[in-house]
Homo-oligomer: A and B are copies of this chain.
Amino acid sequence: MTTTTFDFTPLLPAGLPPAAARWNGRVKYDFTGGNNDPDALPLEGLIAAADAVLRREGRTLSTYGMDSGPQGYRALREFLVGKLKRDAAIGCSADDILITSGSLQALDLVNHTLLARGDTVIIEEDCYQGSINRLLRMGVTPIGIPLDRDGLRIDALANVLADLKSKGIRPKYIYTIPTVQNPTATILPPERRTALLKLAAEYGVPLFEDDCYADLIWSGERPPALYAMSERSDVIYIGSFSKTIAPALRVGYIVAPWAIMSRMLALKTDAGSGALEQMVLAEYCTAHFAKHVPVLRKSLRAKLVTLMESLREHFGAAAEFDDPQGGIFLWVKLPDGVDALKLFPLAQAAGIAINPGPEWSVNKARAQSRLRLCFANLSHEEISQGVAALADVCRRAFGFPA
């Protein structure tokens, strides 16, 4: 008997992304992705938390939203109220918080609540790839603002806002990662935050603050969040547990005024985010978050030092970078002759994964010879071996490092 195979192709709508490739496992030296440090994962604490919270209230898993309703597990939101006050100077209540399936769902909810095809938004020129891609997929135009060592350049933003206004364009939001910016790791100083809020108010543009790396500043001290500094309820704030506890847990959150929260909530038609992860995080974090994060930071800082030393050893002057004050990635400039998009497949073939600069910027030309190297998930040995291997690949292809 012959079996014919149904052809779905004629049924597909226009505008779908290309088909995904089969997954073939990870490469040996994976410097990509927001993966975290497995050794710093608080495993015993999470195991104890799972046991305690399941014994106490596990049967609530039989109900969508448990006893907490559609905004997510109440105890996790209560933890966040305290954490955001302590760390980011944010005053909010549990009712101002929506738990999401990672901050990626938060990005989607904000975007689908505010954006339509043809809209314009303002972002940092070098920017998280996932944010750029989401905008382009929605047919939204992101206007990039250049960064310097203190983050978003306010003078450039003022010019762009004035220019857009002269064209009759009101951007839907200004998206910023002001605290350990991705990929530059810059931290926007308080006076720039004040200036940013003032400009946003002047032009009637809300701010979209992505704060997912802010806990990972080596010093443990950070400027207040834009959300905390605003007096106009014009900031939508998102955060994540991916960078402080574990990315595979997929738990993020939005803090926003009810006027816009209620619209986002109407779009969250997933019957809630995963309850077990919320429960375990609430149980663990309420007791241990404040002690865990400094341990994680120390481990990450040590790996960053290994990465920077390895780059100096194997790339010498051919790799330029600033010493980041926090985070899990390094934004590296290679000599102008290096095309990161060409380096990418050559590195991949040698078992090394990198994020090519042009995928993390709306200024493709300026980012052409840049790389984003994530260091949290590799061991110290893998970092130094991986950098050495990358230097070999780069040298053979481009003549750098010498």
> Hey, which bits of chain A sit against chain B, CB under 8 A?
1, 3-9, 11-14, 16-23, 25-26, 33-39, 41, 43, 46-47, 50-51, 54-55, 58-67, 69-71, 95, 101-102, 104-105, 108, 113-116, 119, 130, 133-134, 170, 172-173, 206, 231-234, 246-251, 257-260, 262-263, 265-267, 269-277, 280, 376-377
Contact = CB atoms under 8 A, between A and B. Distances in A.
A4 B260 CA distance: 15
Interface centre among A95, A104, A173, A249, by most chain B C-beta atoms within 10 angstroms, is A249
Contacts of A267: 16-17
A20 B58 CA distance: 27
Contacts of A23: 69-71
Contacts of A43: 54-55, 58-59
Q: Is the interface of A mostly helix, strand, loop or mixed?
A: loop
B12 A248 contact: no
Contact of A248 (B7, B33, B66, B116): B66
A29 to B, nearest CB: 14
B46 A6 contact: no
Given A250-B272, A266-B19, A277-B276, A58 B34 contact: no
A4 B232 CA distance: 5
Nearest to A48: B51
A204 to B, nearest CB: 8
Contacts of A263: 8, 12, 16, 19-20
B70 A246 contact: no
Contacts of A277: 274, 276-277
B69 A6 contact: no
Given A102-B271, A134-B269, A35 B50 contact: no
Given A11-B114, A62-B35, A247-B62, A101 B266 contact: no
16 contacts: A4-B232, A5-B233, A9-B259, A20-B263, A20-B266, A33-B63, A43-B54, A47-B50, A50-B50, A62-B246, A247-B271, A248-B272, A248-B274, A249-B274, A250-B275, A276-B277
A64 B35 contact: yes
A101 B274 contact: yes
Contacts of A22: 95, 258, 262
Given A70-B23, A104-B270, A277-B276, A61 B8 contact: no
